Amino acid sequence: MAKRISASALAIQTGATTYDPEESELCYAPRFGSAKDPVNFAGMVAADVLRGDMPLGHWDSPDGAFLFDVRMPVELAVESVPGALSIRLPQLRSRLGELSHDREIHVICRSAQRACYGTRILLQNGFKARNISEGTQLRTMRAIAETK
């Protein structure tokens, strides 16, 4: 954790751009971390958003978009999103024919990670799609906070 804070502090101090962390060469020690550090991944995600490779959407602006949920059935039993079509992420490639190219698809999951994968699959197959960046977990937390 300290290494990541130090890397981020150095990036800020040296005036690094959002694109710099994705290309930074951070020390790799298998016992202490992965080949691609979370700082690299954060840079990759941020750069994808800025380049338009990962379009983002938000809960408050679906604008008639089609809601598409990639969570597992057990998660949907706990909390579902009214009006959303549900196809588990592992089944998405084999069920693309069930989706329409006519409307933008807003992809949702619990934390936005699987929605990111689902959005990429849809974009690569010619769909207009956006990742709902907050996920259902943050949406639920926000709703609870607003009732207090």
Domain boundaries, the chain: 2-51, 56-147
Q: What is the pLDDT of residues 44-75, one digit of tens each?
A: 888 888 998 889 888 776 667 788 999 999 98
Among 41, 59, 49, CA closest to 106: 59
Over residues 17-44, mean pLDDT: 78
Q: What architecture (CATH level 2) is domain 56-147?
A: 3-Layer(aba) Sandwich (3.40)
Intra-chain end-to-end CA distance of the chain, in Å: 33
For the entire predicted model, the pTM comes to 0.75
pLDDT at 36 over 80: no
Average pLDDT of the chain is 85
Q: Please give the Cα distance from 106 to 115 (Å, whole number).
A: 9
